[in-house]
Structure 1
Amino acid sequence: MKRLFQFIFLLCMAASTITAQEKKAYTLEDVIPGGSNYFNLTPKNMSGLQWWGDVCVRTEVEEILSVNTKSGKTSTLVTLKEINDALQQNETTKEFKPLRTLTSASLPYAGRKEVVFRHNHHMIGYDFATKQITLCLNLNERAANFDFCKENSSVAYTVGNDLYVSAPQKGNKPINPILAICPNENGYASGPSIVYGQSVHRNEFGIMKGTFWSPKGNYLAFYRMDQTMVTDYPQVNTSTRIATLEPDKYPMAGMTSHKVTVGVYDMRSEKTVYLQAGDPTDRYFTNISWAPDEKTVYVIELNRDQNHAQLVSYDVASGKKLEVLYEEKHPKYVEPQHPLIFLPWDQSKFIYQSQRDGFNHLYLMDTQTKMYGDTQQGKDGESTYNEYRKTTPLTEGNWLVQDVLGFNTDKKEIIIGSTEISPLQTNIFSLNVKNGKRTLIGAEDGMHRAQLSASGTYVIDNFTSASVPRIVSILPTNGKKGVELFTATDPMIEGYKLPEITIGTIKAADGETDLYYRLIKPVDFDPNKKYPAIIYVYGGPHAQMIHNTRFYDARGWDLYMAQQGYVMLTVDSRGSDNRGIKFENCTFRQLGTEEMKDQVEGAKFLQSLPYVDGNKIGVHGWSFGGFMTTNLMLTYPDLFKVGVAGGPVIDWQFYEVMYGERYMDTPQTNPEGYKEANLRNKAGNLKGRLQIIIGGTDPTCVPQHSYTFLRACIEAGTHPDFFVYPEDGHNMMGRDRVHLHEHITRYFNDFLK
């Protein structure tokens, strides 16, 4: 009897072990950002790493650590308690609440033991050698768009639409004229239509900020944007008892745009000079750059048609235009996105980035050697350019430079990120300026995000791939092996039953171009079954949906739908990113046409798979993907049976000037292209089930797109479904995002499964 009980006990233990080892199913709460368990199931990261000159440091809640570049061992530099003690002992800061965390602190001064952080509406510096507060700049409680300059220990920031500088011994100074002592009813001192110190041109052309410190900190260049002539788009806030009008300044394609000028503020004289660029209504002012001697400021100016770019220099003291150093034309569009970068060992030369040879590459320009500027043909066969300074290509080939991290001055090398190994990856290389030799830094596999040390000797490399959840390392830039600081595991892989994910290529509709696809089979895949399939689509410029990262960039919803029993496919069609200018601009003046043909090739690929039910193919996408989803449902109604379109563009004449005119020209100059891409004209073609979902105050694809489409469907007798997230913008965040994906899932389960 005893043996029988022991046998039964062992069986129970074995059964419980098997049960414990069984992998679980996941929910939307597990895989969607905003879900209650989402962050517990993503690979951990080693946050707070940065460079203090050539010393690697890590900022944590309670302390800042130095990290040995050879061994990875850590030692404490400064503690939160030390800083709070110093704050209490300082006359200015003694009434401040205690600082709670050091995670956002920085050590900007190589060789100086000083920590800088924002606290209690102040910018504060603490010297951990003398244990004294060294800097305390007062900032407005509504301050935003902070831009700290380590050369002068000052910070530029905005309050509403006004620009200020806070400097040691000088306090806060307004840069723009303040028209009222108190803010007006809109919260702005200088009015809602004049904007200082913020990004302009709707963040196109690589513009992500509005202030630009000079190399020595003696000047601040800034954008001034006049929107008084721009039409107000009437957004409505429905959360108030009586709905409130809260308009956006929104220049639609072909309409009057804002005026931008560039100011230069002198920190010593406290006076501003504006660049004398002439009439600002016909141009975009992009990629502001400083000469190392601070005597010249450079701007890449782009005409309204976006097919002619000029690199222009201006005199800082007077604002006068000096000369054009380089210009580039393209019959479709030129898109400058990168400021000049001067060589630290030769301040007469700078790096210019261009797609004139088909891919974004680096060109070294010599400011001291003038050229006649004869017109030359780019290797892409369409670009033409004029060099008024001696120019030497530094990189070339059918791959592109994605980023310039900085320099190794001693070795005269540039550290870059590029797609040289694969367009699905970003790898880090050192590039020798003299001979063009490139040396790989880190693993050949995957995506690498790197921070370069001050001397360019080391990088902090954050590496992920489809097979590596995360490895964080310190690597020497000579290509040799470094030290691993952190290796992550993937909780999803360890604890949950996941689908099979593969990538491959299919031919584009042109029969020649290879397109990358990602295919996800259902969880517990049975090759003898027939499954419904969904294409998740974007398809537009500046986006790529497939990379060599975790799950090949598949989103949590894609994985969830595979668990629900769907085959999931994504194709990076022509028009998308990182494949060169011809791959992207084949869609010019006809957005949707070529991209849809390629997505149809993806649908045909699905139909060729024996386990896919070819009569049950759905499509889903957001923004440009919403435009594609709606277009596919209306143009190929017998192929696509169910679609969910989020925040869709319906009519490109309702979209904004900069993006819309780059890819479509204006409605006045391209009426046929706008007509073909106007989905209201196809409203009567709808056969399947189409749901449109928008944010109620979307400032990117304004609600008018979807409202006018609904009216067209009513008049055509077709019946799309419609859902609005009140007061949400172009994307749903937090809990709304979980609800959104519950809603999308239910729609496909109701009508496609």
Structure 2
Amino acid sequence: MRKISLLLLLSGLSTCVLAQNKLLTIQDAMIYARGTLAPEDLRGIQFIHNSHDYVYYKQDKDQVVYLKGGLGNEAKPFLTLQSLNEKLSKTGLKPVERMPLIQFGSEAGWVFFYEGQKLALNPEKNEVKVLADKSLSSVETVESGSDGYTAYLEKHNLWVTKGSLRKQLTNDGSENIVYGSAVHRNEFGIDKGLFWSTSGKKLAFYRMDQSMVQDYPIIDWTKTPALNKNIKYPMAGDKSHHVKVGVYDAISDRLVYLETGEPSEQYLTNIAWSPDDRFVYIAVVNREQNHMWLRQYDSLTGKYIKTLFEEKDDKYTEPLVPMSFVKNDAKKFIWQSNRDGWNHLYLYNADGSLLKQLTKGNWEVTEVKGYDEKGEKLFYMSTEESPITRNLYSVNLKTGKRERLTEGFYNHRVLLSSDGKVMIDNFSGPEKPREIQLKDLVSKRSELLLQAKSPLAGFATGESNIFKFKTGEGIELYGTLFKPANFDPARKYPVVVYWYGGPHAQLISNSWNSGSGDYWFQYMAERGFVVLNLDTRGSDNRGKAFEQSIFRNAGKAQAEDLLNAVNYLKSLPYVNTESMGLFGWSYGGFNTVNFMLEHPGVFQAAVAGGPVTDWRLYEVMYTERYMDTPQENPEGYKSTNLIGKVQNLKGKLLLIHGLQDDVVVQQHSVNFVKAAVDKGVQVDYMIYPGHAHNVIGKDRAHLYQKVSDYFLNNLLESKKTLGN
């Protein structure tokens, strides 16, 4: 057994057991956890544009009322349905029956939807401006610019509208030629395909040709007979789609395509505009994903101007955030990069020359929040205090001086006023469901807006502790241990371990419920389990080396870390390590099946949701980043092909898959089940019709009841389902 050093971080922050209180139901744990059992909040809280006053809404009897407050001013009713309708009547609009959700922080005014239109109401002048016409209410892809132009898709083609203008920009849109949508399977931080310029008069957009990509069938089982709908799904090592970036000038009515050049199979990521609309910038990544060029293009002609700088990595490089020009200084921009091993901020001249690295250390910048009024200070969130907390900091662009602006060992979520002088600090910890403060960042004066009580006060919950431990190799890992209600240290309890272990996900945070959005861990603890939630190597926000441990051999580092966690569990006198279950979804589903086959017998039961079982069948962009191509890394693909190792299985294994999964296609599970049948190995299989990669909505309770029952029936001695 490897020696593990355990440091309890929060030994005094446990939840007391209330033996006579009620148990959570699965609906409580999975559905109401985000509703009636979520910590109290100030719903829709936001700053009013160019103001230090805040607004939020609450239900007052049968009506929604907006309240307004500020430093030294208690929140009072600000906008009722009656007062909104009075303003609407002055503009000539009919009254509404229900209060709409309103965005008060826009320069355009109060922005909300009215009878299918997106409107901006000027509350002083009682004037209304139409931002998006009612005709666009049924259109999926819509993007509005600051000058009133709106781009949208109709019958696969791209259109621009403003007032009476309605201009069709393209004519060849189809299932194969896709305009204005996210490309590259939403990797590299890409979540849309339309990008208005600073002035709102020019539009950059993606054009994706996927005619060369293989079709993949997704069956709609609600039709009789069942109906096949093909999607384009580029698998690792196969042909990928080709992407271009077009630019439309609404004033000159001119459309050009940027000369991004060859090869066609490259990734055009992180599109950004210059403040004067002259240039478009693209982080171009080669298909091998080990080389990035930040390139500048002329928006008038589409011509390539120059490469500002390059980044290379012997494993992979992954730009996720576009360059951002400094407020009030169009000659400088901010770039985020993990080139030194951690995600940090770099200040550049517009010509591409590096001025300075603004942040540095063995921690990650997780988000940029904005600037102060003069543009001298940049605000950002980071893990500098701890990987499991988030805090707001500022850095002076001239001097490099940094300042921490949030307090306490918590997970902070922050809203800043437009001048950066006042913040709304929304934070929580394992013992603190939610606290919201209004803080003046100049005077340091703060006011308490909300102190939420525990929504679980009426339930029999057990202890939970966040801890960290070091593996035999000295790698520091975090986990959360949930103990049963009415815990008896003299008893032996079965165990369930939940994990993910893949990029862009972090399970453990020093926030309410240790970062979990539901109460399933507590639900299982109430039913007699010790539950361990674990972040292994490969997880997010721990630096480049921590993540890149998965390179070319997915699952190996995670399995090693889990073995160390199992050794820790074995050191606990109250744990029955002869009755342990393992659960993971997606990448965690792959990790789960992989561990059951590579280390048979450690866990007696396992559940794998939406698991990758053969990386050859997963998408190009994600897979080749972490595994290279099957041609370049045949041994890595062979060693991670779970279908070829099914005969190693010992214990019970349940596979779960959404029937319409277009991310990890169902063929992964089908092939694994077929291999199990061929080898005479028993596995269990559950499908969820109508669901894609994640099972959401009311069916999520059904899913977690299925998972819970599987562990209850296979790990508890009584083999009875309890507390449904």
| Alignment TM-score, normalising by the size of structure 1 | 0.88
- For residue 42 of structure 2, what is the aligned residue in structure 1? 46
Runs of 4+ in structure 1 over 6 Å off? none
Residue in 1 aligned with 2:3?
A: none
Q: Deviations over 1:361-411 (max 9, x none)?
A: 01101125xxxxxxxxxxxxxxxxxxx513311010001111111001337
Is residue 603–residue 617 contact of structure 1 (8 Å, CA) maintained in 2? no
**CA deviation after TM superposition for structure 1 residue 712, in Å:** 1.0
Q: Structure 1 pair 148/471, CA: closer, same or farther in 2 (3 Å)?
A: farther
Matched to 1:455, the amino acid is D
* Residue number among 258, 273, 276 corresponding to 2:259 in the alignment: 276
The verdict on how the C-alpha distance between 1:279 and 1:118 changes in structure 2, with shifts beyond 3 A counting, is farther
Q: Does 2:416 correspond to 1:416?
A: no
- The Cα shift of 1:487 comes to 2.0
Could you tell me which residue of structure 1 aligns to residue 230 of structure 2? 247
Distance 1:172 1:310 in 2: 36
**Structure 2 CA distance for partners of 1:231 and 1:73, relative to 1, 3 Å:** same
Local SS of the residue matching 2:478: strand
Q: Which is worse superposed, 526-535 or 52-61?
A: 52-61
Q: Aligned-pair distance for 1:140?
A: 2.3
Q: Distance in 2 between matches of 1:43 and 1:595?
A: 33
Deviation at 1:134, TM superposition (A): 3.2
1:434 CA displacement: 1.9
Matched, 1:472 2:436: yes
Residue in 1 that maps onto 2:358: 394
Whichever residue aligns with residue 112 of structure 2, its letter is F
Correspondence for 2:221: 238
Question: Contact between 2:118 and 2:132, CA under 8 Å: does it hold in 1?
Answer: yes
| Partner residue in 2 for 1:103 | 101
Given candidates 51, 56, 61, the residue that maps to 2:53 is 56
Instruction: Name the SS for the 1:263 alignment partner.
Output: strand
Conserved? CA contact 2:613–2:643, under 8 Å? yes
Q: Which digits, 9 at most, give the CA deviation of each residue in 1:420-441, with x for residues without a partner?
A: 0010011111111122222222
Would you say the 8 A contact 1:259–1:281 is kept in 2? yes
Identify if the C-alpha distance between structure 1 residues 173 and 83 changes in structure 2 by more than 3 Å, giving closer, same or farther. farther
Q: 2:288: which partner in 1?
A: 305
Determine the C-alpha separation between the residues in 2 that align with 1:45 and 1:661. Answer: 42
CA contact (8 A) 1:70 1:482 kept: no
Question: 174, 192, 214: which one pairs with 2:168?
Answer: 174
- Tell me how far 1:278 sits from its aligned partner: 1.2
* 1:549 matched to 2:511: yes
> What aligned pairs does 1:667-746 form with structure 2 within 5 A after superposition?
667-746=630-709
User: Alpha carbons of 1:63 and 1:55: their partners in 2 closer, same or farther (altered >3 Å)?
Assistant: farther
Match in the other structure for 1:192: 175
Structure 1 residue 32, shift from structure 2 partner: 0.5
How far off is 1:158 after superposition?
A: 3.5
Aligned counterpart for 2:328 among listed residues 330, 345, 367: 345
1:619 maps to 582
**Separation in 2 of the partners of 1:563 and 1:197?**
49
Find the counterpart in structure 2 of residue 407 from structure 1.
371
Tell whether the 8 Å contact from 2:326 to 2:375 is kept in structure 1 after alignment.
Answer: no
Against the structure 1 CA distance between its residues 594 and 232, is the aligned structure 2 distance closer, same or farther, given a 3 Å change threshold?
same
1:131 aligns with 2:95: no
Quick check: 2:328–2:375 contact (8 Å CA) kept in 1? Answer: no
Residue 153 of structure 2 is aligned to residue 153 of structure 1: no
Deviation at 1:22, TM superposition (A): 4.2
Task: Select 1:460's aligned residue among 410, 416, 424.
Answer: 424
User: Which structure has more RCO (C-alpha within 8 Å, separation ≥ 6)?
Assistant: 2
Residues 618 and 641, structure 1, Cα contact 8 Å, conserved in 2: yes
Q: Cα distance, 1:539 vs. partner?
A: 0.7
Unaligned 5+ segments in structure 2 are 1-17, 58-62, 717-724
Q: CA shift at 1:234, angstroms?
A: 0.5
- Offset, 1:661: 0.5
Listed one character per residue, the Cα deviations across residues 334-375 of structure 1 (whole Å, up to 9, x for unaligned) are 01001111111321010111101110001101125xxxxxxx
Residue 31 of structure 1 aligns with an amino acid whose one-letter code is A
Partner of 2:721: none
Instruction: Describe the shift of the 1:274–1:107 C-alpha distance in structure 2 as closer, same or farther (beyond 3 A).
Output: same
CA contact 1:439–1:479 (8 Å) conserved in 2: no
Which has the higher mean CA deviation after the structures are superposed, 524-533 or 436-445? 436-445
Deviations 1:642-687 (A, max 9, x none): 0011110000011111111100011111110000000011100111
Structure 2 residue matching 1:326: 3-state secondary structure: strand
Contact 2:270 2:321 in 1 (8 A): yes
Tell me the equivalent position of 2:499: 537
Deviations 1:456-511 (A, max 9, x none): 1122221111122111222233481322222211211x2111111112222235x1
Partner residue in 1 for 2:406: 442
Q: Structure 1 pair 280/67, CA: closer, same or farther in 2 (3 Å)? A: farther
Aligned length: 691
Secondary structure of the 2:330 match is strand
Aligned to 2:81: 80
Match of 1:356 in 2: 339
CA contact (8 A) 2:658 2:689 kept: yes
Partner-residue secondary structure (3-state), 1:559: helix
**AA paired with 1:176?**
T
SS at match of 1:251: coil
1:299-321 per-residue CA deviation (whole Å, 9 max, x = no partner) reads: 10000000000100001110100
CA spacing shift, 1:722–1:226, aligned 2, 3 Å: same
Aligned residues of 1:345 and 1:409 also touching (Cα < 8 A): no
**Residues 281 and 479 (structure 1), Cα distance of their counterparts in 2 relative to 1, 3 Å cut:** farther
In structure 2, relative to structure 1, the CA distance for the partners of 1:21 and 1:659 (3 Å cut) is: closer
- Write the distance in 2 (CA, Å) between the matches of 1:479 and 1:463: 21
Q: CA deviation digits over 1:133-190, x for unaligned, max 9?
A: 33364232322244333x31333333464333332x344433333x5xxxxxxxxxx3
Q: Is the 8 A contact 1:651 1:677 kept in 2?
A: yes
Measured in 1, the distance between the counterparts of 2:245 and 2:264 equals 13
Matched to 1:737, the amino acid is R
Separation in 2, partners of 1:142, 1:228 = 27
Q: Equivalents in 1 of 2:117, 2:263: separation in Å?
A: 36
Q: Which amino acid in 2 is paired with 1:289? A: A
Mapped partners of 1:270, 1:451: distance in 2: 38
Distance change >3 Å, CA 174–CA 471, structure 1 → 2: farther
> Over residues 622-644 of structure 1, what are the superposed CA-to-partner deviations in whole Å (9 max), with x where a residue is unaligned?
10111111111111112111001
Conserved in 2, the CA contact under 8 Å of 1:30 and 1:38?
no
Distance of aligned partners of 1:478 and 1:654 in 2 relative to their CA distance in 1, 3 Å threshold: farther
Number of the residue aligned with 2:249? 266
Q: 1:426 aligns with which of 383, 390, 393?
A: 390
CA distance in 1, matches of 2:637, 2:714: 32
SS, match of residue 614 in structure 1:
strand
Which residue identity is paired with 1:156? A
User: Conserved in 2, the CA contact under 8 Å of 1:57 and 1:64?
Assistant: no
Q: Percent identity?
A: 40
Task: Tell me which amino acid in the other structure corresponds to 1:203.
Answer: N
1:380 corresponds to which residue?
A: none
CA distance in 2, matches of 1:722, 1:479: 60
Is 1:59–1:105's contact at 8 Å kept on the other side of the alignment? Answer: no
Is 1:71 the equivalent of 2:54? no
Matched letter for residue 100 of structure 2: L
Corresponding position of 2:23: 25
Provide the residue aligned with 1:527 in structure 2.
489
C-alpha contact (below 8 Å) 1:99/1:119 kept by paired residues: no
Name the aligned partner's letter for residue 522 of structure 1. Answer: P
Distance 1:59 1:71 in 2: 14
Residue type matched to 2:122 in 1?
Answer: D
Q: Is the partner of 1:489 in helix, strand or coil?
A: coil
2:204 to 201, 221, 227: 221
2:141, 2:153 within 8 Å by CA — same for their partners in 1?
Answer: yes
- Cα distance change on mapping 1:160 and 1:84 into 2, 3 Å: farther
Report the Cα distance in structure 1 between the residues aligned to 2:83 and 2:105, rounded to whole angstroms.
16
**Which secondary structure state, in structure 2, belongs to the residue aligned with residue 235 of structure 1?**
strand
Partner of 2:302: 319
Cα distance change, pair 87–175 in 1 and its aligned pair in 2 (3 A): farther
AA in 2 matched with 1:738: A
- Native 8 Å contact 1:126 1:133 kept in 2: yes
| Secondary structure in 2 matching 1:41 | coil
